[in-house]
Amino acid sequence: MAEKDNIIRRLCPGKTRGGSKMALARERIADVFRFAAEGGVLEGETPVADFNRLADWLAERVDAVRWRLAGRLDAEGGPRLDLGVAGRLVLRCQRCLEGMAWDLALDAVLQPVRAGQVLPRDELENDEFDVIEVDGDVDVLSLLEDEIILALPIAPRHEDCGVSRRAETDGGARGESPFGVLAGLRGGGR
Ligand SMILES: [Zn+2]
């Protein structure tokens, strides 16, 4: 399991000195309803290694995800958060347990509700947006992590475990087609 400390340093310049937990610059939104009403926008790039709960699904904690969270009010004045997250994760293949590059690209509309607030049934059954219960301030990384976990494939598997492994070691990560690599191997053997 590769811990890429250097990525954290590069992405959060000046904020990792001291090594304390606070050093990882966790973004918080003090009042998410106000954030939505004011059309607030937060965006950033977060090392995959910062998402501790996500670790169970990963073969390697490398790279970073880019994200953007934008608040707005819908036509009826209800608070909404538009969330976009993109990046590459190295999931653990459920068949061979090796790493498997997977492109994360999620777009979600979140509806914050106050803790204990009762929602009309039609809002709960609406699947155009996800309801998130908010009690106090919002930890943006935790929110991102929840949404990323929801977006993960249930049982990630290589299409062909052997091919994918060879492609990764032979340069698949640089954009070569795994099929091209396979054809090359076959051609050389004839
Ligand atoms: Zn596999």
What residue segments make up the domains of the chain, in order of their start?
A: 5-158, 160-190
Instruction: List, in order, residues 6 or more apart from 139 with CB less than 8 Å away.
Output: 26, 27, 28
CA of 90 to the centre of ligand 1 (A): 12
CA of 157 to the centre of ligand 1 (A): 5
CA of 8 to the centre of ligand 1 (A): 29
Query: Could you tell me whether strands 79-92 and 58-60 are parallel, antiparallel, or unpaired per DSSP bridges?
Result: antiparallel
Residue 98 DSSP one-character state: -
CA of 136 to the centre of ligand 1 (A): 42
CA of 1 to the centre of ligand 1 (A): 17
Residues 9-64 have pLDDT tens digits of 333 333 333 333 333 456 899 999 999 999 999 999 999 999 999 999 999 999 99
CA of 164 to the centre of ligand 1 (A): 7
CA of 163 to the centre of ligand 1 (A): 9
Q: What's the CA gap between 175 and 164, in Å, rounded?
A: 13
Residues 96-140 have pLDDT tens digits of 999 999 999 999 999 999 988 877 777 667 677 888 999 889 999
Ramachandran region, residue 146 (left: φ > 0; alpha: ψ -120 to 50; beta: rest): alpha
Instruction: Please name the helix (run of DSSP H) or strand (run of DSSP E) that holds residue 144, with its range, or none.
Output: helix 140-151
Q: Whole-structure pTM over 0.85, yes or no?
A: no
